[in-house]
Chains A and B, each alone.
Chain A
Amino acid sequence: MDRDEIIRVLRAFEAARLEYVLIGAGAMGFHGLVRATEDLDLFIRATPENVERLRDAFRSAYDGDPHVDEISSADLLGEYPAIRYYPPTGDLYFDVITRLGDAARFETVDAEIKEVEGARVRVATPAALYKLKKATVRAIDHQDAAALRERFNLRDED
């Protein structure tokens, strides 16, 4: 994962006015809980206009990669609420989600604004990350949930 690439993508999200919230290990990193990951995970607001902003941002960050056109609002607003985009650089990927069953969507994930090299990034709060992670089945998510609970003194009702 190339740091300058990540910064470039985060700037592209802001320039495209994408409505998103960063979740997963990237968000944990903003909160000081650092672990390696191969991807960036984000919820986006589920509207056709916002999916177009997502495509604009990826096209801008990845020099017009034609694969970006495969990202479809019909999918993301319909039967496929999760897509994975592998950009041409080849050393990271993006998981873009519009909803997690009935459990979560962009509007239900509390977030705060963080800054990195002048880019404003909408990041899930520690409590929101904890809620998301404790509800999943992956072992790594349980470890993340435990780390969040300890660092931020969260309780199960959080």
Chain B
Amino acid sequence: MRVQRFRSIEDMSRAPARRPTISDFERFLRHCARYWALAPKTYPRGVFRFRSIEDAQKARARH
């Protein structure tokens, strides 16, 4: 069934999503690829080191 009809948003929200035909990780990979296509970034090159994960997260927030 390619098209489903709903009488309300609530009915739509309750409807089960189509069962994916690809693996969960493949869905993740494709999702990230779409994200990158929409919002590409330029990163620096190389290795950066951090004394804590909090420092690493702060550096990530500056991207």
A interface with B by C-beta (< 8 Å): 1-3, 6, 25-26, 28-32, 34-39, 67-68, 70-72, 75, 79-86, 88, 90-93, 95, 97, 100-101, 114, 116, 136-138
CB-based contact A114/B25 at 8 Å: yes
Question: B-side interface residues toward A, CB under 8 Å?
Answer: 23-36, 40-57, 59-60, 63
Cβ-defined contact, A3 with B51, below 8 A: no
Residue of A nearest to B34 (CB): A36
Q: Residues of B contacting A2 with CB < 8 Å? A: 33
User: Nearest chain-A residue to B63 (Cβ)?
Assistant: A38
Q: Name A31's contact: one of B24, B35, B48, B52 (CB within 8 Å).
A: B24
Could you write out 7 A-B pairs with CB less than 8 Å apart? A3-B30, A31-B24, A82-B51, A85-B47, A114-B25, A136-B53, A137-B54
Kindly list chain B residues whose C-beta atoms are within 8 Å of the C-beta of A67. 45-47
* Assembly CA distance A86 to B31 (angstroms): 20
Instruction: Give CA–CA (A80, B50) in the complex, Å.
Output: 5
- How far apart are the CA atoms of A28 and B32 in the complex, in Å? 13
Contact B36 A1 (CB under 8 A): yes
Query: Chain B contacts of A26 at CB under 8 A?
Result: 28
A37 to chain B, nearest CB (A): 6
Shortest beta-carbon distance from B56 to chain A in Å: 5
